[in-house]
Amino acid sequence: MSEGRTELEKLGEFNLINHLTKKFIQKNKSTVLGIGDDAAIISMSNNKVKLVSTDLMIEGIHFDLTYMPLKHLGYKAVVINISDILAMNGTAEQITVSIAVSNRFPVEALEELYDGIHKACSIYNIDLVGGDTTSSLSGLSISITVIGTAEKKDVVSRSGAKENDLIITTGDLGAAYMGLQILEREKSIYNTNPKIQPDLDGHDYIIGRQLKPEARNDIILDLKKMNVKPTSMIDISDGLASEIIHLCKSSNVGCNVYDEKIPIDSKTSMTAIDFNLDPTTCALNGGEDYELLFTINQSDFEKVKGNPNMTIIGHITNPNDGIYFIDKSGNQIELKAQGWNHFNE
Amino acid sequence: MSEGRTELEKLGEFNLINHLTKKFIQKNKSTVLGIGDDAAIISMSNNKVKLVSTDLMIEGIHFDLTYMPLKHLGYKAVVINISDILAMNGTAEQITVSIAVSNRFPVEALEELYDGIHKACSIYNIDLVGGDTTSSLSGLSISITVIGTAEKKDVVSRSGAKENDLIITTGDLGAAYMGLQILEREKSIYNTNPKIQPDLDGHDYIIGRQLKPEARNDIILDLKKMNVKPTSMIDISDGLASEIIHLCKSSNVGCNVYDEKIPIDSKTSMTAIDFNLDPTTCALNGGEDYELLFTINQSDFEKVKGNPNMTIIGHITNPNDGIYFIDKSGNQIELKAQGWNHFNE
């Protein structure tokens, strides 16, 4: 955070928006008018559709500012929205960002947050086209709506999986969850004894996955290049188990997913074991990986085979067969979502 | 509220969204896919543009549940978003609704909220296409993003006002603010002595303007019928003074607005006087009227003359002339926005 502290009331709501958004440059041709009017204007062309998704992040529920730098938070808030558009096989182009903050935050804190938002917008080629800034009685809330585009014929929903399709996940799973465990552990040690410095050594990868996830637009580009259109797709925000269930229920199919196939980084596994957790459980229920989960027709198998970013973890079955996880001993276990149900925490 | 209390955790996040949105029916041809996937799908056609606007409402800042029924709150939250699309001369078609709630709220409370959202969607022909539902540590937050459509050539921004244009406001102003004063007064009496029943008699109009505002889509239809395209337009959410300043600054013009022309309902004036407030000040700085403020070329004067919903309150001047309010004694006073600056409260 830069030095000095500017109280929010010094700037006022309109100036604050202007102040925080002045360095955002519009990049997409479809953005006709961005911030500064009652609504943004987005142009359209035939054969294309707009994709819209929204996400609300609440301090104390979705993030903890004890260990989440505001710049990372801004970056992550944008990325998780982009991920939803990618999961439709589309391209994210515009976002609106609304924030509510208490007077606890100086303007400099919001500048940090918007620096992160700006960085994500730059890297992912997104235009910030609107938003709302208001005060809250306590804490910080961030609400982002993302708008994307796709050719009508390219859109992939959750509901197209068919029997015998292959189930693929990108990247590796469970790392963001283990990163969170490390951060929570160090926070609790710090709270007990503030003199002890946090020990994050050797955990860069998993902490990075928690604090600064990326959206897999590379995968969407790869699939286009490989001429593969998934039959269904979803992003893994709430844990693999929860997403598989969503996908199967939306598609009205069953599945077999194999424990031994689930890609887990060795750093994730080692940390899980340190915490007396089963790495597979972390991958299934951990959440926040923002990888893509999709299904393809078996005829596309040769095209994806050997792709280092894609792992086949199972196949789609008849709806009557149920949604099953096959453990390393070959036991069939019915999958139940545990995911991030915030109301149960 | 219906009887009984269902704890939020009993339903869980996904079931809660399904539960709250199951009775929403899609009405717009452009809504290809609504709730239930990573993003909604909205179709496009040539010569049209999409309009996007967003609004974040926080309990304790934007609304007080002591006197704001949840059903009204849901209705109002949708209406104020629609108003932003109308202010661009567009038609609102889709919304996403994200809410964060603490466990203080039972499911039945959210049902009330969504009943209001549903009613507004029915009346204004809006499709609910997405959203997010999460818990909060305290209170209720509602974030709505609205998407609208307009012919490219019909869009009216804030920045098109030209010297000599006439300035018009719809409806009457200051009523929502005076409604709020009545509600706040009765709340404070109730807090002092809960045995005293609130005395809202004779204040139906101004309280209705506060609790259940309407968006002026009738005006947009009227303007089309009259073949009048405003040169600039904005909705009056933060008080007339603030909106006039926005409009003049965006258009790089000055203005003269006349005190004696500002439409104020007699019930608003009488209540203002009861509270020792100047009715004009309430109209200028009160906010939440959700009327439309627009400018038209003088050549359109004959078309709007005598329209009971439209009042000419002044005219646009050279930017060097400044933004002026002419009081009833003919004094020129420079207009300064006081509006709803939440950070100053």
**Cβ-nearest to A38 among B8, B41, B53:** B53
Residue A3 within a domain: no
Q: Which of A141, A343, A344 to mutate to test the interface with B (most CBs of B within 10 A)?
A: A343
Residues B55, A137: C-beta atoms closer than 8 Å: no
Domain end, chosen from B154, B185, B209, is at: B154
Q: Average the pLDDT over B293-311 and give the result.
A: 96
Q: Which of left, alpha, beta for B47 (phi over 0: left; psi -120 to 50: alpha)?
A: left
User: What pLDDT is recorded for position A337?
Assistant: 63
Q: How far is B309 from chain A (nearest CA, A)?
A: 21
B143 touches chain A (CB under 8 A): yes
**Cβ-nearest to B33 among A83, A157, A344:** A157
Give the DSSP H/E element, type plus range, for residue A183: helix A175-192
Chain A, window 41-80: residues with a beta carbon less than 8 angstroms from a chain B beta carbon:
41-46, 48-56, 58-62
Residues B56, A143: C-beta atoms closer than 8 Å: yes
Decide the pairing of beta strands A91-101 and A140-151.
antiparallel
Q: How far is A168 from chain B (nearest CA, A)?
A: 17
Decide the pairing of beta strands B127-135 and B91-101.
parallel
Residues B152, A94: C-beta atoms closer than 8 Å: no
Residues A38, B85: C-beta atoms closer than 8 Å: yes
**Cβ-nearest to B38 among A38, A88, A134:** A88
Q: Where does the pLDDT of residue A214 fall: very low under 50, low under 70, confident under 90, or very high at 90 and above?
A: very high
The reply to whether A337 and A260 lie within a common domain is yes
Residue A2 within a domain: no
Residues B13, A342: C-beta atoms closer than 8 Å: yes
User: Residues of A with CB below 8 A from B41's CB?
Assistant: 49-51, 88, 155
Q: Where does the pLDDT of residue A194 fall: very low under 50, low under 70, confident under 90, or very high at 90 and above?
A: confident
The reply to whether A269 and A134 lie within a common domain is no
- Which structural domain, as residue segments, surrounds residue B74? 8-154
Residues A99, B56: C-beta atoms closer than 8 Å: yes
CATH number at residue B308: 3.90.650.10
A142 touches chain B (CB under 8 A): no
The reply to whether A142 and A184 lie within a common domain is no
Q: How far is B330 from chain A (nearest CA, A)?
A: 31
pLDDT tens-digit profile of A44-95?
A: 777 788 888 999 999 999 999 999 999 999 999 999 999 999 999 999 998 9
B159 touches chain A (CB under 8 A): yes
pLDDT tens-digit profile of A228-285?
A: 999 999 999 989 999 999 899 989 999 999 999 999 999 999 999 999 999 999 999 9
Q: Average the pLDDT over A196-211 and give the result.
A: 89
Ranges A46-55, A132-141, A164-173, B115-124, most confident = A164-173
The reply to whether A115 and A204 lie within a common domain is no
Residue A27 predicted with pLDDT over 60: yes
Domain end, chosen from A108, A127, A154, is at: A154
Q: How far apart are the first and last CA of chain B?
A: 31
User: Residues of B with CB below 8 A from A14's CB?
Assistant: 246
Sign (positive or negative) of CA dihedral B246, B247, B251, B257: negative
Q: How far is A201 from chain B (nearest CA, A)?
A: 32
Residues B12, A344: C-beta atoms closer than 8 Å: yes
The reply to whether A187 and A281 lie within a common domain is yes
Residue A138 predicted with pLDDT over 60: yes
Residue A333 within a domain: yes
Average pLDDT, chain B: 88
The reply to whether B110 and B205 lie within a common domain is no
Residue A195 within a domain: yes
User: What pLDDT is recorded for position A288?
Assistant: 95
Chain A residue with the nearest C-alpha to that of B158: A37
The reply to whether B93 and B213 lie within a common domain is no
Which tokens hold the place of B312? 């000419």
Of A187 and A49, more confident: A187
Residue A336 predicted with pLDDT over 90: no
Mean pLDDT is lowest, of A133-147, B69-83, B257-271, B326-340, for: B326-340
**Cβ-nearest to B342 among A39, A135, A143:** A135
Residue B143 predicted with pLDDT over 70: yes
User: What pLDDT is recorded for position A210?
Assistant: 96
Q: How many CB pairs under 8 A join A and B?
A: 239
> Using an 8 Å Cβ cutoff, are B222 and B323 in contact?
no
**Cβ-nearest to A52 among B40, B62, B84:** B40
The reply to whether A283 and A216 lie within a common domain is yes
Give the DSSP H/E element, type plus range, for residue B144: strand B140-151
Q: Which of A145, A235, A290 to mutate to test the interface with B (most CBs of B within 10 A)?
A: A145
Q: How far is B313 from chain A (nearest CA, A)?
A: 21
The reply to whether B268 and B180 lie within a common domain is yes
User: Residues of B with CB below 8 A from A132's CB?
Assistant: 54-56
User: What pLDDT is recorded for position A2?
Assistant: 44
> Using an 8 Å Cβ cutoff, are A85 and A51 in contact?
yes
Q: What are φ and ψ of residue B263, in 5° steps?
A: -75, 120
Question: Distance (Å, rounded) from C-alpha B241 to C-alpha B261?
Answer: 14
Residue A344 predicted with pLDDT over 60: no
A168 touches chain B (CB under 8 A): no
Q: Which of B64, B79, B110, B143 to mutate to test the interface with A (most CBs of A within 10 A)?
A: B143
When divided into structural domains, chain A yields a total of: 2
Sign (positive or negative) of CA dihedral A319, A323, A328, A331: negative
Domain end, chosen from A100, A131, A154, is at: A154
Q: How far is B201 from chain A (nearest CA, A)?
A: 32
Q: Which of A17, A56, A103, A251 to mutate to test the interface with B (most CBs of B within 10 A)?
A: A56
Q: Which of A143, A217, A237 to mutate to test the interface with B (most CBs of B within 10 A)?
A: A143
B93 touches chain A (CB under 8 A): no
Residues B134, A98: C-beta atoms closer than 8 Å: no
User: What pLDDT is recorded for position B107?
Assistant: 82
Residues A13, B341: C-beta atoms closer than 8 Å: yes
Whole-model pTM? 0.88
Which tokens hold the place of A266? 């060795």
Q: Where does the pLDDT of residue B345 fall: very low under 50, low under 70, confident under 90, or very high at 90 and above?
A: very low
The reply to whether A132 and A175 lie within a common domain is no
Which tokens hold the place of A318? 């008849």
Chain B, window 13-32: residues with a beta carbon less than 8 angstroms from a chain A beta carbon:
13-14, 16, 32
Residue B160 within a domain: no
Average pLDDT, chain A: 88
Q: What percent of chain B has pLDDT over 90?
A: 62
Residues B130, A54: C-beta atoms closer than 8 Å: yes
Residue A340 predicted with pLDDT over 70: no
Give the DSSP H/E element, type plus range, for residue A233: strand A232-236
The reply to whether A55 and A185 lie within a common domain is no
CATH number at residue B73: 3.30.1330.10
Question: Distance (Å, rounded) from C-alpha A85 to C-alpha B26?
Answer: 21
Counting beta carbons within 10 angstroms of the beta carbon of residue A191, is it exposed (0 to 12), middle (13 to 18) or buried (19 or more)? Answer: exposed
Q: What percent of chain A has pLDDT over 90?
A: 62
Residue B3 within a domain: no
Residue B338 predicted with pLDDT over 70: no
Number of residues written out for chain B: 345
pLDDT tens-digit profile of A7-16?
A: 766 766 656 6
The reply to whether A104 and A131 lie within a common domain is yes
Mean pLDDT is lowest, of A111-115, B301-305, B313-317, for: A111-115
Question: Distance (Å, rounded) from C-alpha A324 to C-alpha A256?
Answer: 5
User: What pLDDT is recorded for position B344?
Assistant: 41
Residue B212 within a domain: yes
Q: Average the pLDDT over B181-201 and give the result.
A: 87
**Cβ-nearest to B49 among A9, A43, A234:** A43
Question: Distance (Å, rounded) from C-alpha B258 to C-alpha B242?
Answer: 15
Mean pLDDT is lowest, of A36-40, B21-25, B85-89, B310-314, for: A36-40
Residue B161 within a domain: no
